[in-house]
Amino acid sequence: MKDYWKDLSLREAWSKRERFNFILNYFDEKLESSNGETNDEPVDEPTVEPVEPVTVNVSVHVKDSEDNGINGALVEIYQDNNDPYTGNTGKAGGCTVRNVPIGNYSIRVSAEDYITSIDELVVIEGENNVEIILELENGA
């Protein structure tokens, strides 16, 4: 059997039962080999199937302090240095950013003549509606 500690990171996609069985088999082999007995039977290791991330659409509405939609705002949803998921608002100030995996993100919204907004965003299964209010740069 392969070294348990070396392969532990490969097992994260396994179910709890698969991990439990793997650990039991590992220690059973260690006990048998320490008693002088050998186990020549091959151990069936479960295959690790790739898991497709769950993605959702994030609906964003960008408006000014007077509740007017801001046309042409750039919406960026990102994690660390990864490429952002982006969208641009229409005349009413709304846009939909599509196929964002569930997780924790930052959301940056920028528009000409407005102060850029950066906030934290948690994307969950189901509806994700975000409202962002931008302030004018000149304070008017």
What pLDDT score does 103 carry?
A: 94
Looking at residue 82, its pLDDT comes to 87
Task: Give 5: exposed, middle or buried? Use CB within 10 Å, 0-12, 13-18, 19+.
Answer: exposed
Residue 59: predicted pLDDT: 98
113: left (phi over 0), alpha (psi -120 to 50) or beta: left
In the CATH scheme, what is the homologous superfamily, with its name and number, of domain 55-134? Carboxypeptidase-like, regulatory domain (2.60.40.1120)
Structure tokens at 139: 């304070």
pLDDT range class, residue 1, cuts 50, 70, 90: very low
pLDDT at 117 over 60: yes
pLDDT score of 57:
97
Statement: residue 28 has pLDDT above 50: yes
Strongest mean pLDDT among 10-14, 19-23, 41-45, 47-51? 47-51
**Domain boundaries along the sequence of the chain:** 1-51, 55-134
Q: Give the torsion through C-alpha atoms of 88, 90, 92, 95, to 10 deg.
A: -40
> Which residues on adjacent β-strands are paired with residue 106?
78, 120
pLDDT, mean of residues 102-126:
96
pLDDT digits (tens, 9 = 90+) for 31-77: 777 665 555 667 677 777 888 889 999 999 999 999 999 999 999 99
pLDDT above 50 (res 128): yes
